[in-house]
Amino acid sequence: MEKEIEKELNVNEYSPLSLAFIGDSVYDLIIKTKIIRAGNKQVKKLHQDTSHLVNAAAQSTMMRTLQDLLSDEEREVFKRGRNTKSVSPAKNQSVTDYRRATGFEALVGYLYLQGKYERISELVEIGLASLMEKQKEK
């Protein structure tokens, strides 16, 4: 039986939506890990805590802060993701928030596929801190 050989693609060759597809999962796992590490809770409460952070509006708010901290390469990936035409925004989300969130997810996916886990962590921490600060202001 022959061993199947996987073709390795240059991460720059992935479509922005493919990057966002994996980035969404990576971000979701980061947030769920942070939530569960904060303490054991009922699954319903874990889901509620997660859903406040894993949505287009929250990701869009985070990206407003993160945009100025991105390298030129990261900014280009974000813009490619943000400007990609996708099917339709999620319910209860503005088109602007949805597109900015798609750019965020594409950036996370891009960094993940490059193995830049520390950079993902750094950006997520900064983004979450800014999100929490904005929520306190309300």
- Please determine, for residue 7, whether its predicted confidence score (pLDDT) is greater than 70: no
Q: Which of 69, 68, 65 is nearest to 130 (CA)?
A: 65
At residue 15, the 3 state secondary structure works out as coil
Catalytic residues: 24
pTM over 0.85: yes
- Please determine, for residue 9, whether its predicted confidence score (pLDDT) is greater than 80: no
Domains for the chain: give ranges and CATH numbers.
15-137 (1.10.1520.10)
pLDDT for 87 equals 60
pLDDT, tens only, 95-138: 889 999 999 999 999 999 999 999 999 999 999 999 988 877 76
Query: Is 38 buried (19+), middle (13-18) or exposed (0-12) by CB count in 10 A?
Result: exposed
Q: Which of 55, 112, 66 is nearest to 89 (CA)?
A: 55
- Please determine, for residue 58, whether its predicted confidence score (pLDDT) is greater than 50: yes
